[in-house]
Every structure is written in structure tokens, then in C-alpha cells.
Structure 1
Amino acid sequence: MALNSSRSALTSACKALGQCRPPTQAVARQLVAPMRQFSTSSSRRSEAEEEENSERPRWSYTPERMKMPFSINVPKKAHRSTWKCNDKPEVLDAMYKRFLGSGGETMLPEEIKWLAITHKSFDQGRRGFNTRLAYFGRQILALEATRSILIAPKESLPTVKITDDFGREPFDHPALANIDKLNARQPQDIVHKDKLAKLAREIGLPQVIRWKPRLPENLEGSGITVVLNTTIYAIIGAISLQHGAEVAARVARERVLKRFQA
């Protein structure tokens, strides 16, 4: 009995396999045709978009392949999603001229000029941002601020008297005289964030920076002071990479530090 049941099961399976025939050529064409049509249309659309974007500068558009079909960054209040940034090159060049002097708008290539004033909050960072340039420029400005303290006359610095509870006299040497000046003033006292923000407003930087404030109705609460500081640092860092450390140091001294002393 077991043998007969096995044979009947095998026979049923063979009949079922026989009914599962491969699709005909006509059916295969109907299945493949829509796929080929979709692939061709999408490739043509991407080629057209690439050709259109090739005529525009890189800073002016978001790469198509970095766009999402939907956005997950939905603000609770609709008016906070709207923020207009400058997209006119002549307005940007005017700011560089006020900051760097005559011919300052030609010191950097077009793409770098826009990258230096682009914060990472702008367009979700898809067009590049100035964080690494700002880190480099901050070190340059801190170095020049330290150097300005070391070469300053001792009479121009406030005197700091250090007393020892045990009556000991510290080691003194002419080579260490300038180092003691750092007891009276620190680089952060010269390059303070409020001073940099004031300088940025004087040259019209808030009108050209590309960023997206969290609270458009409250720019201070959104951190505009930090964004302005970062942009000043980034411009100096970009100049150093483009023209070298000597030119960047001169810009830091003449276009930033000297304005603080005025």
C-alpha cells in the first residue's frame, strides 16, 4: 500500500511539472518591453539633466543623484522651511572686495568663493560646506594673534604681578621675555567671537552667507554668530590653500587684526 501511494504521488508531481511550461516568446516580449522602455526613458532623462547642469556652475545647483524623492526634514511650522540665500555673483564679489580690499574678488576661484561662504546647514550639505576650510583658517588666525602679542611692546600690555608664597624667584632670561607676555593677554582675547561677528557685519557677510537657520525669526538663537565666525575662518583658510601661508598671514594681520586695533 505504501508503494502504491508513493507511485501515485510521483505521478501527480510529474503531471504538475508538465503543465508548468516556459512562457512563449510573445509573452516574454510583453514582459520585457515595459522594462526596456522605462530604462531607456530614465537614461534619456538623466542625460538631459546632466547636459543642462553642465551649462551651469557647480555651486548653483544640487546634483540630481543626491536628491531624494521626498524630504524627511519637515518643520513643525511651515514658514520655517522658507529661507532665501543670495545667488548673485556680483553681490558676493562686493563682499570680498570690502573684506580683502581692491581686487579681493579675484583672489579665489569662483567655486571656492561660494564654498567658503557655505555653511553645512545649507541644502543639507549637498553642495559642499566650509567646515574644513574654517578649521584651517582658525589655526592661522590664532597663530597671527599669538605672534602679535609676542612682538607687542611690553609697555602696551597690562602688568601681571605673580607672587610666590615661599618667596622663590622664577628663572629669568632675555629669551623668555616675550613668553611672559602671554600671561597678560591671550589670543582669544584678541580674536573674540563677538569681534569677528561685528567685522562680518561691517563687510556685509550676513547678506551673502548660504545657510539655513533653525529659527528664521530668531537668527541669534539660530547661531548666526558662530556661522559668521566660521565663514571668516574659511575665507582665510581658502586663501592659504590658494596662495600660500604668507599671503594668508598677511590677510589675517591686515584685514582682521588691524581692524580690531582701529
Structure 2
Amino acid sequence: MASNLSTRAVRSACLASKAAPRPLTTLIPRRSVSSASDAPEPLVNQADQPRWSYTPPKTKAPFSMRMHSKRPQFHNNNDPEVLDQFYIRMLGNGGEKLLSDEVKWLAVTHKSFDQGRRGFNDRLAFLGKRIVQLQTSLALAQSTGTASSAPKTDQFGRVPFAHPSLEGLGSLSTSTKSFLTDRTKMAELARKYDMQKVVRWEPRKPDNLIASGLELVLAHTMYAVIGAVSLEKGGLVANKLAQERILEPLGIKSVS
């Protein structure tokens, strides 16, 4: 009788051990040696620092991407006062108050800066370029056009339809718009606003900014500023600024 009771006790213990599997942590051996990389990264207090002023800790690489690089360090502006003065020059009095602080920095940040980890202005530039091109088309369509040569006589005596509103259609073409808003002209206008002092980017050759694509970056940033204004203040304000601060300095005047 005693042997039967002991046998039943052993069987019940075996069944209990099968029904309740051991936790996974007990099956995986723990490492007894820790390294410095296991320590958690110090978190940046976002309440004390604005988002544009630091790189998110989790996006940092564990090692330098430019090891033993002999390329000189390129300085980018970090002074909000310098940035505000640029917006006053480009957008006029009160221009530094049109945009929020984050968008002001985002509009002048190229994707090469900090490897794009703080955000960049590609989408703003796409929107701003559409606005500038639209305003250029409207200005060309509303212009009186150039004096054409004497109209050709028609053997059947037909007279082509003419209307003052259609006089500018001859100037409206893709090549004309591209010529008037050429990248070089946009870059020259950006230099008049001293944009090169505030744009944030990492040139491939810090000792040769032209070969690194400075013209393209400046023109790209000009469009991004207009796109940022449209994002926060609406199309009406962006259209007006595109006419007054970009097209008129380039010699394109709108009738309205």
C-alpha cells in the first residue's frame, strides 16, 4: 500500500512539472560580464532644449562616420538672433514672427546637415517651388508681351482673334519660366538676403562651396522658406511674399 502511494506521488509530481513549464529566463544563461555599451544613453531634456538644437540620442551612430577625416570642420549658424535677422531681410519687417521657431530652423536646414537627423526642408521646398512657379505663370500671362512683327496676311482675309487678356500667352512657356527663375538667379537673390550665413548644410568640400553645390542649396532653401510660410500662414500670404520678395527682385512684376 505504501509503495502504491509513493508511486502515485511521483507520477503527480511529474505531471505537475510538465503542466507548468519552466520560465524562459531560467533556460537562457545570463551574462556575468557587462560592458559600457549596455548602460542606457543619457536622455536629453526636451523641456530645456528646443528640438532643432540637438541630435536625437537614439539616432546617433556608435562610432564616427568620418573616421580619420582630414576635411576641415564647417561652421553652421546656431544663433537664433542671426536667423531672425535673415527672416527680416527676406520677408520684411516682422518677418521673424511669421513662423514658429521649429519651422524657422527647419526651412533653412538641408538634408546633408547632421545626416538629416534633425529634419530637413525637402517637402517645404517642393511646396514653395510650386507656389513660385504658379505666380511666375500668372505674371507672364498678365504681361503685355513683346511687340511682335507684322501679322501675316491671310489669303482668305481671315483675321485672328485678339484680346488684351491674351497678349501675354506668347511669353508663357516652360523655357521662359525656367530662364526667369534660374537656379543661378535664385542663388544671387539669396546672397542679397545673406542666406549663406544661416543655411545649415554639410558641404562636400568646405574649402570650395561652389563645387559643393552652394547655388543649388541656396535656391532650394529660398523655395523652402515660401513653403514654410504657406504651411503656417496660408497661401494668400505665401503668394504675396513670392511676388514681392522673389519675383519682383528678379524682374517679374505681377499686375494684380
Residue 222 of structure 1 aligns with which residue? Answer: 212
CA-to-aligned-CA distance 1:138-196 (integer Å, 9 cap, x gap)? 01001111111111123xx3637898xxx9x8964536444223269721222121111
Residue 144 of structure 1 aligns with which residue? Answer: 135
CA-to-aligned-CA distance 1:76-106 (integer Å, 9 cap, x gap)? x5134x1110000000000000000000001
Residue 56 of structure 2 aligns with which residue? Answer: 63
SS at match of 2:134: helix
Q: TM-score, normalised by structure 2?
A: 0.76
Shift of 1:32: 5.2
CA distance in 2, matches of 1:242, 1:127: 20
Residue 258 of structure 1 aligns with which residue? Answer: 248
Out of 158, 170, 176, the position equivalent to 1:180 is: 170
Query: How many percent identity over aligned positions?
Result: 38
Q: Say yes or no: does 1:193 pair with 2:175.
A: no
Out of 80, 89, 93, the position equivalent to 1:89 is: 80
Shift of 1:223: 0.2
Out of 236, 239, 245, the position equivalent to 1:249 is: 239
Structure 1 residues 185, 72: CA separation in 2 closer, same or farther (over 3 Å shift)? Answer: closer
Q: TM-score, normalised by structure 1?
A: 0.74
Residue 12 of structure 2 aligns with which residue? Answer: none
Structure 1 residues 210, 183: CA separation in 2 closer, same or farther (over 3 Å shift)? Answer: closer
Out of 75, 84, 92, the position equivalent to 1:101 is: 92
The one-letter amino acid of 2:63's match is F
The one-letter amino acid of 1:180's match is G
CA distance in 2, matches of 1:232, 1:249: 14
CA distance in 2, matches of 1:212, 1:237: 22
Q: Is the 8 Å Cα contact of residues 160 and 183 (structure 1) preserved in structure 2?
A: no
- In structure 2, list runs of 5 or more residues that go unmatched: 1-25
Q: Say yes or no: does 1:213 pair with 2:203.
A: yes
Residue 117 of structure 2 aligns with which residue? Answer: 126
Q: Is the 8 Å Cα contact of residues 158 and 184 (structure 1) preserved in structure 2?
A: no
CA distance in 1, matches of 2:149, 2:246: 27
Cα RMSD between the aligned structures? 3.1
Out of 41, 49, 72, the position equivalent to 2:43 is: 49
Of residues 174-183 and 243-252 in structure 1, the stretch that sits farther from structure 2 once superposed is: 174-183
Structure 1 residues 181, 62: CA separation in 2 closer, same or farther (over 3 Å shift)? Answer: same
More helix by share: 1
Q: Is the 8 Å Cα contact of residues 144 and 252 (structure 1) preserved in structure 2?
A: yes
- In structure 1, list runs of 5 or more residues that go unmatched: 1-27
How many residues get paired? Answer: 222
Q: Is the 8 Å Cα contact of residues 117 and 209 (structure 1) preserved in structure 2?
A: yes
CA distance in 2, matches of 1:228, 1:194: 9
